[in-house]
Chains A and B, each alone.
Chain A
Amino acid sequence: MSQRVPIRATAKMKELMGFYYMMAKSAENDPNQKIAWITSGGPVEILHAAGVIPIYPENVAAMAGTMKISDEICAIAEEQGFSRDLCSYARTDIGSALSGKGPIMGSASPKPDLLVCCNNICGTVTKWYEELQRIFNVPLIFIDAPFQYGIKDRPEAIDYMEAQLRRMMEQVSEVTGKPFDMDKFMETLELSDRAVKLWREIQDLLQHKPAPMNSFDTFIHLAPIVTLRGTQGCIEYYETLKAELLERIEQGIGTLEKEEYRLGWDNLPVWFKIKFLSERFSQHNAALVVSTYTRSFCYQAEDRDISNPLRAMSADYLAGYINHGLDFRERELTEMVRDFSLDGFVMHSNRSCRAYSFGQYELARTLEDKYGVPVLLIEADQNDTRMWSDEQVGNRIDAFMERVASKKQRNIA
């Protein structure tokens, strides 16, 4: 059997992320270097422009998940009375903040001087960040992103976002004690824009058959776009990765010995079961080639005004997949089916992320009935291993793949 050809850029990413966390950790005791904790959908460009180091509790929680220490940290939050029904990222983060335990060089994230919370990813973050404020007693900036029910985003919502981002600049400058540098900000927006476009191009390369990497890889290569967008390092990294993927396409290198079936993935990964899932789908010659999750970090508003970068940014932070209703989601999913030649969709009904999982049954029905796309729903959790059973999930995957295979054979015959 041919060995899987590893992606060389992974080593570079580990180096980049390792450096970033080391820098952040060493800044903890430097009173001149400010640190902010921010939600994954938060407007980080303002922080980079002001020289504030951003830390993403969600990213740190996912690291704890892949390192399989999240259960233990969640239990600390549960002991303090946080419900098991609360998002496992929130429990991991709060447990980590309370105990000092975490995945960054064996400990928790460096303490924040500032908290930035944007509710364009879910409502839970609002209360979660209030809890962090209570623990750390530092300023909390809250950006309220109105949920967009229709396909087209509302202009008054963009106005509202823009006003909040302007206010955020003032609030950040109060924390740093320096005036907000507009030129540096425009430069940062430019860098962020380039990184976002690169990240989309990289994912679009997976439309190629065989796909040069799969979604289990994109889950891992997502880290820089989440944490470092707006920096030069982020762009350099994705340029390297893109070049390597183009090379793999040229040489016909895929991720499976034989890529027979192509699938999409919806919702967050099950961080502690990446290997299990990857192997199980590989056994059926199935590659996951696109995910709504990794694409969430490259949404740009459709009619963004590029002559006004702040306005475009305000629109972009409303434009994500999970800040939208079902019509938008249906359109996105069906475009993925078409563009990535998918044979089916796997939906992770994620106990932790209700904002993401809501409507999945309806979307699954729509994909099945309207478009004839087989859908598998897996009940699990992004970070809580107690919600998982190898046997049950494996069985569902096997049954689903038997169905997908027989459907494809029928279509060929």
Chain B
Amino acid sequence: MSAYYVMGLDIGSATAKAVLLDESGYSLAFAVRPTRGRLVQSAEEVKQEILAHTGVSEEAVKAIITTGYGRDIVQNKTKSLTEITCHARGAYATMPNIRFVIDIGGQDSKAILLEPDGQVGRFEMNDKCAAGTGRFLEVMARTLGIHLDEMGDMAIHSEKYSKISSTCTVFAESEVISLLAQGEEIPAVVSGLCRAIAERVYGLASRVGITPPIMMTGGVAKNKGVVNWLSRILNQEMIIPPEPQIIGALGAGIMGLEMIKKSNEKMNIITQNT
């Protein structure tokens, strides 16, 4: 049994994610729940869910590191870190040869270059709109009257794709409605939407300087349509971890573990010297 545990909490705009690690860095469990605008409550819920699931007591959790849009409002945290640092760390822990991370979350997208030793290099985030993010897909699913989870399969099985010229969520919505009015089939529209996101993210990634191997993280990495278009446009394979959504929380947990180890080392040095 582990002497202590560390928790990583990623409180995003769409979902709250938690990962529990033991002292060796082994990931015991994770939990994901929709945020629905209640950041503090959802953070508490994923935390309790994971503790109940593993039977680990709250006192045994030695550090809680938070990240994501709601990182600062979570109470009883040890430290908060940005998603850039946590996604990079999580991706590196999952696959140490990764040099580039594309993270598409609920309301932003990021491209991060990793140094060979896993440190964050240059990075870019999307500008002030929801284009090219999970929210964009959510709005479009609603407009099309389909479920968000259906979109990926629909897109990859469609031979045709509609040309969506606008990546602005508001304009794209009217464009989609007008395409449907012209008799365009829904799968083609969905494929076109996935392509629009990929194009947008391509611009972001190019500014950073695309360097393979590339890992894709965040909820949108579960959408096969976007992944497929991205690998076509970037002409690179996208590595998708088994649970792309929890990479930020995992990275946060690992950073917490490293902090504890570092402070233990310091303590040891002090005890040895006295």
Docked Cα-Cα span, A361 to B204, in Å, equals 12
Min CB gap B243→A, angstroms? 23
Most central of A361, A365, A402, A410 by chain B CB within 10 Å:
A402
The reply to whether B84 and A403 contact each other, CB–CB distance below 8 Å, is yes
Q: Would you call B119 and A368 a contact (CB within 8 A)?
A: no
Judge whether B207 is part of the interface by a CB distance below 8 angstroms.
Answer: yes
Which of A365, A374, A389, A395 is the one whose CB lies under 8 Å from B82?
Answer: A395
A396 at the interface (CB under 8 A from B): yes
Q: How far is the CA of A121 from the CA of B108 in the complex (A)?
A: 35
Interface membership of B120, Cβ < 8 A: yes
Residue of chain A at shortest CB distance from B122: A368
Q: Contacts of B127 on A, CB cut-off 8 Å?
A: 379
Please tell me if A162 contacts chain B, counting CB pairs below 8 Å: no
Give the complex CA separation of A387 and B127 in angstroms: 10
Which residues of chain A in 393-413 are interfacial with respect to chain B, using CB atoms and an 8 Å cutoff?
Answer: 395-396, 398-399, 402-403, 406-407, 410
A387 to B85 CA separation, bound complex (whole angstroms): 26
Contact A396 B85 (CB under 8 A): no
State in angstroms the CA–CA spacing of A145 and B127 once bound together. 34
User: In the complex, what distance in Å separates the CA atom of A407 from the CA atom of B118?
Assistant: 11
Question: A-B contact count, CB below 8 Å?
Answer: 44
A33 within 8 A of B: no
Give the CA-CA distance A375 to B83 in the complex, in Å.
18
In the complex, whether A107 has a CB less than 8 A from a CB of chain B is no
Q: How far is the CA of A402 from the CA of B108 in the complex (A)?
A: 19
* Residue numbers in A under 8 Å from B128 (CB-CB): 379, 387, 389, 392
CB neighbors of A among B84-140 (8 A):
84-85, 108, 119-125, 127-128
Most buried by B among A396, A403, A407: A403
Interface range, B side: 10 to 19
B207 touches A406 (CB 8 A): no
Nearest Cβ on chain A to B270's Cβ, whole angstroms = 18
Q: Is B81 an interface residue (CB 8 A)?
A: yes
Q: Contacts of A410 on B, CB cut-off 8 Å?
A: 119
A357–chain B nearest beta-carbon distance, Å: 14
> What chain A residues lie within 8 Å of B125 (beta carbons)?
392, 395-396, 399
Measured between alpha carbons, how far is A389 from B129 in the docked complex, in Å?
10
Which residues of the partner chain B approach A399 to less than 8 Å between Cβ atoms?
82-85, 120, 123, 125
Per-residue CB contact flags for chain B residues 54-84 toward chain A (1 = under 8 Å, else 0) read: 0000000000000001000000000001111
Other-chain contact of A406, B119, B122, B123, B124 (Cβ < 8 Å) = B119
Determine whether the beta carbon of A402 is less than 8 Å from that of B119: no
CB-based contact B120/A406 at 8 Å:
yes
Query: Using Cβ atoms and an 8 Å threshold, which residues of chain B touch A361?
Result: 207
Judging by beta carbons under 8 Å apart, are B119 and A407 in contact? yes
Bound CA span A395–B137, Å: 23
Complex CA distance for A392 and B83, rounded to whole angstroms: 12
Kindly list chain B residues whose C-beta atoms are within 8 Å of the C-beta of A395: 69, 82-83, 125
Instruction: Report yes or no: A402 in contact with B82, Cβ–Cβ below 8 A.
Output: yes
Measured CB to CB, the closest approach of chain B to A39, in angstroms, equals 30
Chain A residues, Cβ within 8 Å of B123: 399, 403
| Complex-state Cα separation, A23 to B82, whole angstroms | 50
- In the bound complex, CA of A188 to CA of B220 (Å): 64
Nearest CB of A to B87, in Å: 10
Enumerate chain A residues within 8 angstroms of B85, measured Cβ to Cβ: 399, 402-403, 406
For the complex, give the distance between the alpha carbons of A100 and B236 in Å: 58
A392 cross-chain contacts in B, Cβ below 8 A: 108, 125, 128
Beyond A395-B82, A395-B125, A396-B125, is A402–B120 a contact (Cβ under 8 Å)? yes
A406 and B115 alpha carbons, distance in the complex (Å):
12
Least CB separation from A405: chain B residue: B85
* Bound-state Cα–Cα, A399 to B89, Å: 13
What is the minimal beta-carbon distance from B165 to any residue of chain A, in angstroms?
Answer: 19
The distance in angstroms between the C-alpha atoms of A125 and B69, with both chains bound, is: 40
| In the complex, the 6 A-B pairs of residues with the closest C-beta atoms, listed nearest first | A399-B84, A399-B82, A403-B120, A402-B85, A398-B82, A389-B128
